[in-house]
């Protein structure tokens, strides 16, 4: 019996995962028109509609959902096995896709991966900067990097840095005209630089002292959603900002920012690299994992 060509199934699964013909075409390296025609041909061959298309949206039909559940993971298994074959090469190769926030990429991940990339030119790294909690399985990332308390329970989590603390800071000029808060509740009388979350809501600042936890919803003239801009606004005297302390470290050392409420900011689990427990790591991913693992291996 003649074997079926699986390209149409791969195209369909990619469209379903990406939620877009355009993004699927970019992943597959073909034109959007080719992807659309391939999926239409699959629907004609099966004599059933798999996708519901409108001018603004794309969704799976019940049949489409069933097909993705049945075969989607099969392609992942094939890709994992192909990646595993690189162990038989003289040098590891392949692409490792990570999702992480901007600061941890600049301050921690990139400096540790740079020597690896120079030593292994056949390893490729793709980093997606995102402040939301991406679904790394659905979005086909090899791993994500988030604070330890944000990692899902069904993931393998590996620490890539020490414990961290949050810090509430403002410029000396701001505190020259506003008394420093004595306790978190005093923040409601201050101008604060609020942070918009990916979910759409504003982040409630979290404090703790001697087992007592407090969440404070702050207000101010400025709302931002990325840490570099929050730091810049604090330096410009726009109010009190609240981020992991390493975001402010050089400015605290230089005295251009002043810390407050330090006794309400205990250390907690720092950044972790996390990945699905059922996924077999490729040689390239294993090297990335060892390069990022904390504590770092001693030199030599």
HEC sequence for the chain? CCCCCCHHHHHHHHHHHHCCHHHHHHHHCCCHHHHHHHHHHHHHHHCCCCEEECCCCEEECHHHHHHHHHHHHHHHHHHHHHHHHHHHCCCCCEEEEEEECHHHHHHHHHHHHHHHHHHCCCEEEEEEECCCCCCCCCCCCCEEEEEHHHCCCCEEEEECCCCECEEEEECHHHHHHCCCCCCHHHHHHCCECEEECCCCCECCEEEEECCEEEEECCCCCCEECCHHHHHHHHHCCCCEEEEEHHHCHHHHHHCCCEEECHHHCCCECCEEEEEECCCCCCHHHHHHHHHHCCCCCCCC
Judged against a pLDDT cut of 90, whether residue 290 lies above it is answered with: yes
Domains of the chain in start order, with CATH, are 7-74 (1.10.10.10), 89-154+270-292 (3.40.190.10), 166-264 (3.40.190.290)
Average pLDDT over residues 181-195: 96
Judged against a pLDDT cut of 80, whether residue 149 lies above it is answered with: no
Judged against a pLDDT cut of 90, whether residue 218 lies above it is answered with: yes
What is the tens place of the pLDDT at every residue in 74-120?
Answer: 777 777 676 666 655 667 888 999 999 888 998 899 999 999 999 99
What is the tens place of the pLDDT at every residue in 23-46?
Answer: 888 888 888 888 889 999 988 988
Percentage of residues in the chain with pLDDT exceeding 70? 92
- The residue with greater pLDDT, 232 or 15, is 232
pLDDT for residue 87: 59
Judged against a pLDDT cut of 50, whether residue 210 lies above it is answered with: yes
pLDDT for residue 86: 60
pLDDT for residue 76: 73
């Amino acid at each position: 019996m003649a074997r079926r060509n699986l390209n149409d199934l791969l195209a369909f699964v990619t469209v379903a995962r990406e939620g877009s013909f355009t993004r699927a075409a970019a992943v597959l390296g073909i034109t959007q028109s080719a992807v659309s025609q391939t999926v239409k041909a699959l629907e004609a061959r099966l004599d059933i509609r798999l996708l519901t298309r409108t001018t603004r949206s794309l969704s799976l039909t019940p049949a489409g959902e069933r097909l993705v559940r049945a075969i989607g993971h099969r392609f992942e298994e094939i890709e994992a096995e192909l990646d595993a074959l690189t162990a038989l090469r003289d040098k590891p190769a392949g692409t490792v896709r990570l999702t992480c926030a901007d600061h941890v990429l600049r301050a921690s991940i990139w400096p540790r991966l740079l020597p690896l990339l120079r030593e292994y030119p056949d390893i490729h790294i793709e980093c997606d900067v995102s402040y939301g909690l991406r679904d790394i399985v659905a979005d086909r990332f090899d791993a994500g990097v988030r604070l330890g308390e944000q990692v899902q329970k069904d993931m393998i989590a590996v620490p890539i840095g020490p414990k961290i603390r949050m810090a509430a800071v403002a410029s000396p000029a701001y505190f020259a005209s506003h008394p420093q808060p004595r306790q978190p509740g005093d923040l409601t009388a201050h101008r604060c630089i609020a942070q918009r979350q990916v979910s759409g809501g504003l982040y409630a600042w979290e404090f703790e002292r001697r087992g007592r936890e407090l969440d404070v919803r702050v207000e101010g003239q400025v709302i931002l959603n990325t840490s570099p801009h929050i730091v810049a606004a604090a330096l410009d005297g726009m109010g009190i900002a609240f981020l992991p302390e390493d975001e402010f470290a050089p400015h605290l050392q230089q005295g251009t920012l002043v810390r407050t409420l330090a006794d309400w900011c205990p250390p907690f689990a720092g950044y972790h690299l996390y990945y699905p427990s059922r996924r077999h790591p490729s040689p390239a991913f294993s090297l990335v994992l060892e390069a990022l693992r904390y504590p770092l291996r001693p030199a030599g």
